[in-house]
Amino acid sequence: MAKQPIHNQVFGRRLREARLRLGIAQDKLGVMIGLDESCSSARISRYESGVHEPAFLTAQHLASVLNVPVAYFYCDDDVLAEVLIRYSNLAETNRTKLLQLLDDFLPVSTNT
């Protein structure tokens, strides 16, 4: 069997992690994003195994149902992936505070 591209592997691993975090079965997740019940489990399995990568619109539906930012699926750094989840769950005022805190550590360079 041919080795899957690394981005498919990352997407699949992240999808499986997010799905299991919520305790949702593959077939149920598929139905929740609008897939036909007869093929939903197989399709999600293919996404998770890296055989197929969904279209971006489908990734957006998956992210919405799984309550993760779509960027999470494509993040190849485990720590950053967790930061993305936590950041997405912050209220807007706390997001601003976090960005201000990061600015204190890593000022944005202005090359003019």
Q: By C-alpha distance, which of 50, 72, 70 is closest to 59?
A: 70
pLDDT digits (tens, 9 = 90+) for 75-99: 999 999 999 999 999 999 999 999 9
Domain residue ranges in the chain: 6-105
Residue 31's contacts (CB-CB under 8 Å, 6 or more residues apart) are 37, 40
For 6-105, CATH gives: 1.10.260.40
Is residue 110 pLDDT above 70, yes or no?
Answer: no
**Mean pLDDT, the chain, integer:** 91
